Amino acid sequence: MLRVCRRGEVGEARALTPEEDRALREAFGRFALPAARPAGTAVVQRYQHAGAGHWFACFCLGPGVRPPVLVPVAEAHIRRQQDPPWPAHAEACAFYRDPDEQRLVARTYARPRRGDLVRLVGKLKAEETPSPLELRGRSYTRGRSVLATVLAELLVRAGLNRIGPDGTVPTIAEQFRALRAAAKDIPI
C-alpha cells in the first residue's frame, strides 16, 4: 500500500485510501491502463499542491528499510526517485518499471511468427566485455533472450510441451525427430 509523506521525508507517512492507491497503480504502475490515467492524475494533483508538496512512499521493500518514493511531476504523472538515498523498488512492485519499459520486456516473450528470420546474434560492439553467466528464472520482470525464445518455440512446434492423457512421454529418439522436423521451419 502506498503512503503519502511530506516531500523528502518519510517519517510521518500516512496511508492513502484504497481507492487512491488503486488509482495510482492503475494509472502509473507497470501494467498501467490508459483509461485509468485521469483518476491517477487527480490523486497526483491533490497531493502535489497540499502544503509544501508531498511524495508517495512505497513500502514494497518491507519494514525497517527506507522506502522507495514516487514524486509527483507537472500535476500529471509520477516519477520514480532513485537517486541516493532513495532505493529502487522491489522487482515484484507495480512501480519497479514504467509501463513502456514493461512492454519492451513482455515483447521478448512473444513467439516468433512463422517464416520470420530469427537473429540470434545482434550487432557487435567494439571492445564488448562478456557478461558473467547468470542463471535466471522465468519472470516478466526480466526480458528473455532470443535463443531462449527460439528454444521455447521449438518445444511448442515439436509438441514436446505436452504429455499425453495416459502420462506417456515420447522416447528420446522420438523427441529428437520431432525437434528436427520443427527446426526446419525456423529460418536462422
Output the DSSP codes for 157-180: HHTTT---TT-----HHHHHHHHH
Write down the pLDDT at residue 127: 59
Q: What is this structure's pTM?
A: 0.57
pLDDT at 124 over 80: no
Share of the chain above pLDDT 90, in %: 0
Distance of CA 86 to the CA centre of its chain: 20
Torsions phi, psi for 28 (to 5 deg): -130, 0
CA of 110: how far to CAs of 47, 105, 107, 119, in Å? 39, 10, 5, 14
pLDDT digit string, tens, across residues 89-119: 888 888 888 877 877 777 777 776 766 666 6
Write down the pLDDT at residue 118: 64
Closest CA to 31 of 109, 93, 102: 102
pLDDT at 163 over 60: yes
144, amino acid identity: R
pLDDT digit string, tens, across residues 9-40: 777 777 788 888 888 888 888 888 888 888 88
**Average of per-residue pLDDT values in the chain:** 77
75, amino acid identity: E
